[in-house]
Amino acid sequence: MDAPHKPAFSVGLTGGIGCGKSTVADMFAALGAAVIDTDQIAHALTAPHGAAMPALIAEFGPEFATPEGALDRAKMRALVFSDATARARLEAILHPRIRDATAAAASIATGDYVIFVVPLLIESGTWRERVSRVLAIDCPEELQVARVMARSGITEAQVRAIMAAQVSREQRRAAADDIILNDDGLDALRPQVEILHAMYLSQSKRT
């Protein structure tokens, strides 16, 4: 997925499934950062009668839509994790629309700096050059599995299949400029966010 034009100072926030990206992003937003979440954009595009739905139904068939007109995420997840060509077809529809919506949001962002939340930032190969810093939210893999199973009600095998399609924990940490460890609750998380926010704020004022 291509990334939009880089604002003066921006952070690409990433992390494996279940690492707590949204929780951390919300903390940064509360401190004054403008947060643009590509997952939220994707959900809006595939919500009932979302902008991407006509193209998705044309490509995959009406059986991939719910009765309400949204993408049947469980059915699509099962397809793309068993068929790489289906994943490519899905991305060809969604990624340009996500890119355009992300660029539009960035152009009107009013925060102290911009945080792009991009789950597959490292995997995409295009975002790294377009943000000032990469922030990885990190946690042990067993904790990822437990969180996602509790949150989404999917099986351990399904969670591990999703994780296997992402870069490893070690690769993500190696690619990041900054790391937040999210393995011990909000009280341990908040000071890490505050330290990085102060640094990002300082750097944004110099750009």
- Give the residue ranges of the annotated binding site for ATP: 18-23
The token duo for 30 is: 């509360």
Residue pair 15/119 in contact by the 8 Å Cβ criterion: yes
Query: Among all chains, which residue has been given the structure tokens 């660029």?
Result: 103
What gap in Å lies between CA 59 and CA 20, rounded to an integer? 32
CA angle 194, 197, 202 (to 5 degrees): 130
Pairing status of strand 133-138 against strand 10-15: parallel
Residue pair 6/130 in contact by the 8 Å Cβ criterion: yes
Other CB atoms closer than 10 Å to residue 87's CB: what's the count? Answer: 15
Instruction: Write the DSSP assignment of 18-57 as a string of letters.
Output: TS-HHHHHHHHHHHT-EEEEHHHHHHHHTSTT-TTHHHHH
Question: Binding site residues, as ranges?
Answer: 18-23
What gap in Å lies between CA 147 and CA 3, rounded to an integer? 29
Residue pair 12/118 in contact by the 8 Å Cβ criterion: yes
